[in-house]
Structure 1
Amino acid sequence: GTGALGAHVARWAAGNGAEHLVLTGRRGDAAPGATELRDELTALGVRVTVAACDVADRDALAGLLARLDDDPAPLTAVVHAAGLNDVVPLVDTDLARLAAVMGGKIAGAAHLDELLGDRPLDAFVLFASIAGVWGSGGQAGYAAGNAYLDALAERRRARGLAATSVAWGPWADGGMATDEAQRELARRGLRVMSPADAIHALRVAVGRGRACLTVADVDWATFAPAYASNRPRPLLADLPEARPAAPTTEDEPGDGGQPLREQLLALPGDEQDKLLTDLVRTHAAAVLGHSGPERVKPQRAFKELGFDSLTAVELRNRLTRATGLSLPTTLVFDYPDPAAVAGHLLAALVPEAGRQEAADPAEAAVRQALATIPLARIREAGLLDLLLKLTDGDDAEQAPTGEDGDSIDEMDADALIRLALDGSES
């Protein structure tokens, strides 16, 4: 009750006819700003009680409710705005961390519901979160706790009791999102709401008589493509505002395809692959905010690099413009690292390269073996000029030979290595 969200609700209640406000918190008057808030509300003509009570402690809450029953002014409304978040991957969430997140959010609401029983109330309001509606990275426990609040509200409504669970988007002042988290949410299309707008929405939500509502300021053009990048999201199909922004399988490509294709056709196969891999790494680095592609390794998984649904869409859009290809929104999920994406781009940009006859296995083995030999040793063995002539395409009659007269291009890998290292075949 003395936190940022509780304070906003208390100010609204004080200005709209409340006679007695009871603000609970584990530290009571000792909580930061509690005394100042009490004085502010009292100055508005409202009787205010700041009670030290942890709603997750059933006995403490029962004692507080008993004292309120002795008060001349009856309890008419409850607002449960407590919560604790802990952003951590699910695999690192142990029972202790899960219990800590669940305590204030679930236990407090469950105790209030149980201890109040079938008492008639004007309002029983639960502050939930969008994390329980469409999920949020690293917030498995918090999402589950908020989903519980929605279910609790539905159950109370089924019993004929007052209940409203509001799944909130981020507030500009208060809530669980820090300033940094708010900036990140805004980048994903979730804009912070002013407390005045949020409180107005709360009043409307309670008046609608529905168990569960979601209140968020969403930029659908940004949010929808990222949210649905990995798989279809039926939720978006039910929202008229979101449908135009929901991604299709393919978007309009850019105009960079033909110049890039011509550039690739002028390069040998290995250079084609390197060019496209560097292209993917460069754009991936830009999306992640790196100064250069050095931190984006060709065969390191996008997930390990820090990609999520939003950055995956950003990379796909960049590559669509750079290549002129119609790329699926699931590109990063279908091809898990930069090298794999580069291979897909090459097959799409230069399909004739895939139809070329595969290199002879023996030749491939020779090339691979030569790549492991330092150039200086090949030069010392007197083979550099011979190998350069061989790569220039001299025919068999002019091809260089070993000491026993065998043509170099007819030698197997072992013989060529011995020749390069020892200057002879023996």
Structure 2
Amino acid sequence: LDRSGTALITGATGMLGSLIARHLVHHHGIRHLLLTSRRGPNAPGATELTTELTNAGAHITLTACDTTNPQQLQTLLTHIHPDHPLTTVIHTAGTLDDALTTNLTPHQLHTVLQPKIDAATNLHHQTRNHPLTHFILFSSAAGLLGAAGQANYAAANTYLDALAHHRHTHGLPATSLAWGAWTDTNGMTAQLTDIDRTRMTRAGVHPLTEHEGLTLFDTTLTLHTPHLAPLRLNPQTLQTQANNHTLPHLLHNLTRTPLPRATTTHTTTNNNLTHTLTTLTPTDQHRTLLDLIRTHTATVLGHTDPHTIDPKRTFREHGFDSLAAIELRNTLNTTTGLHLTATLVFDHPTPEDLTTHLLTQLMP
């Protein structure tokens, strides 16, 4: 990084933005920072951030700017001192407004797409005449691997990845970092519930500590690649997914190659379960299937003991949301070989109700 130049950080009062600002000053010796966010000096922690970095010897300009507005961004850039030209852009701004794809509203799309897409596009065009050495976009692994309930967020970050490739093709500095989640709970991840965190861990992606994230950030500065994914993956979990044929295709080369997936997997699963049920009395059929549902329900909720799942309490009372409902539906599809609806647990609201329904499907 150019210590004599100015580094611009968007979303600078957010968790990642402020963390990177501190890292540039304390670790990289950057002395001229232009920090911006929608609330600027009025954001929580802004005064403390400015004071700390100023005391460390840096010249800090912290201002409110809507970088999705090209006029505001242009005004911001014209105030950069010519003796310390803009050499580094780090775009960390972003927000979440999760929903299942079928429920996304125009408001949820605009809320999430604008701070990512519009701001990055404006930065791309309006910094063309500045002597940039680094143009770093904070993207997300959601755009690479998918993330339940985050279709809008995934699309927004995929745009950042594509923009980095576009700039790279035209000989402009560009790096899009498709981050995994961080352990800090003060930023966007503050919205995550324990169920959400358990779901991420089951997917094989573990949150990054502050030290791990900053170390990976420094590593990316040494590479000349437009698109990188700083992730902490669990190889054992990935191998289990590969064996179960549920591993995202992008990660296949990180595991031992499993046997080719049989085209009759669902049919075989259905036949095996149906055969087991046909050897049992009606009472045992019901109990076996209920135990299966309680076990999968406990797994989705992050419980170790399926007996904590009350068969007569609704899934909502147990803590289910739309994402948990989809996950249970997908698991039961794999286990039973059936093609169940996305509204399964809402149409059959208790484990008992769901057991009765599945019995009618498996043992008509």
Q: TM-score under structure 2 normalisation?
A: 0.75
Cα distance between partner residues in 2 of 1:47 and 1:185: 39
Residue 287 of structure 1: aligned partner: 299
Decide whether the 8 Å contact of 2:86 with 2:130 is kept in 1.
no
- 2:253 alignment counterpart: 238
* Cα 1:50/1:282, change in 2 over 3 Å: closer
Note the aligned Cα RMSD (angstroms).
3.5
1:195 aligns with 2:199: no
1:6 equivalent to 2:17? Answer yes
1:390-405 matched pairs, under 5 angstroms: none
Cα deviation digits, residues 90-131 of structure 1 (max 9, x gap) = 112122220111111111100000111253311100000011
| Residue 216, structure 1, aligned to residue 234, structure 2 | no
Query: Which residue matches 1:407?
Result: none
1:206 to 215, 221, 224: 221
Question: Quick one: structure 1 residues 183 and 40, their matched pair in 2 at CA, closer, same or farther if it must change by over 3 Å?
Answer: farther
Structure 1 gap ranges (5+): 251-256, 316-328, 347-353, 355-426
TM-score, scaled to structure 1:
0.65
- Call closer, same or farther: CA 1:38–1:310 in 2, change over 3 Å: farther
Stretches of structure 2 lacking an aligned partner (at least 5 in a row): 1-11, 266-271, 302-307, 341-353
- Partner letter of residue 131 of structure 1? A
After superposition, the Cα gap between the structure-2 partners of 1:38 and 1:312, relative to the gap in structure 1 and judged at 3 Å, is same
- 1:166-181 equivalences under 5 Å are 166-173=177-184, 175-178=187-190, 180=193, 181=196
Q: Residue in 2 aligned with 1:325?
A: none
Distance 1:136 1:247, change over 3 A: farther
Shift of 1:191: 1.6
User: Which of 122, 126, 129 pairs up with 2:140?
Assistant: 129
Cα pair distance change 1:232/1:285, threshold 3 Å: closer
For 1:190, give the aligned amino acid: V
Deviations 1:354-374 (A, max 9, x none): 9xxxxxxxxxxxxxxxxxxxx
Of structures 1 and 2, the larger Rg is shown by 1
* Equivalent of residue 116 in structure 1, options 127, 132, 136: 127
Instruction: State the identity as a percent.
Output: 32
- SS, match of residue 13 in structure 2: coil
Correspondent of 2:150 among 139, 155, 159: 139
Name the aligned partner's letter for residue 223 of structure 2: R
Contact map agreement 2:86 2:131 (CA 8 A) in 1: no
Alignment of 1:19-418 (within 5 A): 19-68=31-80, 70-117=81-128, 119-173=130-184, 175-178=187-190, 180=193, 181-223=196-238, 225=240, 233-239=248-254, 242-243=255-256, 265=279, 268=281, 270-271=282-283, 273-289=285-301, 291-295=309-313, 306-309=324-327, 330-332=334-336, 334=338, 336=340, 338=355
* Aligned-residue offset at 1:230: 6.9
Deviations 1:186-239 (A, max 9, x none): 344322111222111112113211000111112233356458867564312222
The alignment covers a number of residue pairs equal to 315
Higher relative contact order (CA 8 A, sep 6+): 2
